[in-house]
A and B are shown apart, each in its own frame.
Chain A
Amino acid sequence: MNPIIVIATHKGGEGKTTFSSNIAEYYALVKNKKVLLVDCDQQANLSSRYLNISIDSTFPEGKIPSIHPDYDNDEDWDGISSITDIFFNRDVCPYPTRIKNLEIIPSHSQKLQEIEKIEDKYVNQKVFKTFRDFLRLPSLHNEYDLIIIDTPPAKGNITRAAISAATHLLIPAKMEKYSMEGIYGMLQLWKKQNFNRGKDDKLELIGFVPNMCRNVNLHNTFHEMLKKSNQSSEHVLDVMIKQRTIYAEVVANESDPLGVFELKKGNQAREEFSKLCEIIDKKVFGVKQKEVST
């Protein structure tokens, strides 16, 4: 089975979506791997980067994916697909993106919200199991080398489902107080997972990634504290992703270039993110790399 990386923290604005897309594009463009992105966030930011996302006319606060390119007015299908299809007995059809190796299963705001509302413990278990069973389908792993899941800033059913499906967990965090609490919260979910999982199926913690860092005492001190602590030192990744406008700029429509790994080599943002991805790569795929044939 191939790696399933979940990017999670219940704190908002830490960089989950940015990391999801950048790491996915690293593997698709630089490593030439086939990547599947899964957008579980009602905000649908990740989906809107690659697809035309429209406002849901029946649910004004929400977004729905665009019509699938493979839709040919088939009567049995309404032409859209999202990750929530797995809960409603519909087929899932990943969407292609402008990047050849990268496909995405987008979000559907209203249906995701319905799933989040479920409180029944028995049904919760079913939600987690359905999610996990789907993401571990052999057919999916035949098609893609890597699956990356973007999660909402919450600790609800969807985040938990994603965590129960994943093989690896990455926690982006600002080096500030509330973000530390986000790390702590995620670690509880991680711990619980591992006490429920079999020996060969543990959820690996890739680590905490210091994000949006500036060269200020606050950020440096927090980073140092994590690096010095007994246990945390093993899990805080040895790279600081700096606060750079470019990360936001490449997301804007019609920006040029369209992504971090389309910036010129040597560009500071590209370099630092490459460094991050190389560290992640070692941890997820191991030091020995399979030679990818083009």
Chain B
Amino acid sequence: MARKSFKINDELMNGIEQTLEVTKQFSQDMQFNVINIGLIEPDPENPRDLLISKDQIKEYISGNKNLPLEALTEIEGLNSLAESIRKDGVINPVIVYEHKNIYRLVAGERRTLASLLAGKEQIQAKILPNKPSEDNLRLLQWVENIERKDLNIFEKRDNLFKILGFNSAGGKVSIKQLIDILGCSKSQAAIYKSLVEADEKLISLCKEFNVDSLKKVDELSRIKTYDDRVLLLTGRSSKKQNDKEPSALVVSTEGAGRKRQQVNFGATKNVSVAKKIISILKSHIDGGSLSSHLEVTSNDMNILTKEFEKLIKKIEKGVESNDK
């Protein structure tokens, strides 16, 4: 009789192997659990403190609304988060580390206070065995804070400096370094790089115009002159000018992609606008030689386009002869 043969089903065997491996590899330093909010206290060294304490929140929900103005404002700010926690719970566990018999918050102050406001007594937490090193602390807080709307770009920049070890003078950083340290995508790293390397002029411009998005900072960093930067921010020239005439020029910028080979002057479907532009140009170009063509009479888009192209060529010739 032939020998019967058997084996443990592959899927099952793999499942057993994988479970053993994953647990061995990851569970050592990982601990997720639900902890009492009562046992959480803020980290005394966290750069961001909300202007309200756990006790004040408890007062508030027990009916005593007689709190200082900053506290009440904070509560207002926390209300929408509290509402979503009431419905769906905390989506991302907060991060704490064990300190004697309590937990110190590494990241998640808003979530903790909002949970309290929502009437919860416990919160999901990732529990680190010790206080993370300075570097890791900043990094953890960075990762937590980057998506927060209430941290402004200057605070984010400061945090990045700390993570990278820069003093207030800042420094240069490569995209690869940022990807390695932050674990972000290439495009995100490019945006952070612009923030880190933004010079004083750009920073003060951002302060002046209340720039609040990292993407805007990135765009601005690619524009070289102050005037063009202001143009981007306001859609208007910084020089005092007839405000009713918005510029039809596209600002030339140093993009991250392939360098442009030419400047485009936009387009318009409005024939009157086209005629006006052409007339203005003609009247500003050293008079004389073009005066015979001062009037633009045609309404035909093809003819107007050709007129404009002729003008450009004339200007090019003029510029060339001036340069010689």
Contact = CB atoms under 8 A, between A and B. Distances in A.
B16 A202 contact: no
A173 B34 CA distance: 33
A189 B292 CA distance: 91
Contacts of A235: 20
B17 A199 contact: no
Interface string A167-195: 00000000001001101100110110011
Contacts of A181: 12
B209 interface: no
Nearest to B28: A199
Interface string B1-42: 001111111001101110111111011111111100000000
Contacts of A197: 27, 31
A202 B16 CA distance: 19
A198 interface: yes
B16 A191 contact: no
Interface in A216-230: 217-218, 221-222, 225-226, 229-230
Given A198-B129, A218-B6, A221-B7, A232 B27 contact: no
A191 B17 contact: no
B21 A231 contact: yes
Contacts of B23: 187, 190-191, 194-195
Contact of A180 (B8, B28, B34, B129): B8
In this complex, the member of A181, A183, A199 whose beta carbon has the largest number of chain B beta carbons within 10 angstroms is A199
Contacts of A202: 27-28
B127 interface: yes
Contact of A198 (B12, B24, B26, B31): B31
A196 B98 CA distance: 14
A268 interface: no
A218 B3 CA distance: 11
Contact of B15 (A184, A195, A221, A225): A184
B97 to A, nearest CB: 11
A181 B15 CA distance: 10
Interface in A57-80: none
Contacts of A97: none
Interface residues of B, number: 30
B129 to A, nearest CB: 5
A179 to B, nearest CB: 10
Interface residues of A, number: 29
B4 A217 contact: yes
B9 A177 contact: yes
Given A199-B129, A231-B24, A217 B16 contact: no
B5 A231 contact: no
A267 interface: no
A54 interface: no
A125 interface: yes
Given A191-B27, A194-B23, A202-B28, A180 B33 contact: no
Contacts of B5: 217, 221
B15 A191 contact: no
B19 A187 contact: yes
Interface in B96-135: 98, 127, 129
B177 to A, nearest CB: 31
A232 B129 contact: no
A132 to B, nearest CB: 12
B3 A217 contact: yes
Contacts of B127: 198
A180 B9 CA distance: 9
B16 A225 contact: no
A196 B20 contact: no
A183 B16 contact: yes
A187 B20 CA distance: 7
A231 B14 CA distance: 10
Interface of A: 125, 177, 180-181, 183-184, 187-188, 190-191, 194-199, 202, 217-218, 221-222, 225-226, 229-232, 234-235
28 contacts: A180-B8, A180-B9, A180-B12, A180-B13, A181-B12, A187-B16, A187-B19, A187-B23, A191-B19, A191-B22, A194-B23, A195-B27, A195-B31, A195-B32, A196-B33, A197-B27, A197-B31, A198-B129, A199-B28, A199-B29, A202-B27, A218-B4, A218-B6, A225-B7, A225-B13, A230-B21, A231-B16, A235-B20
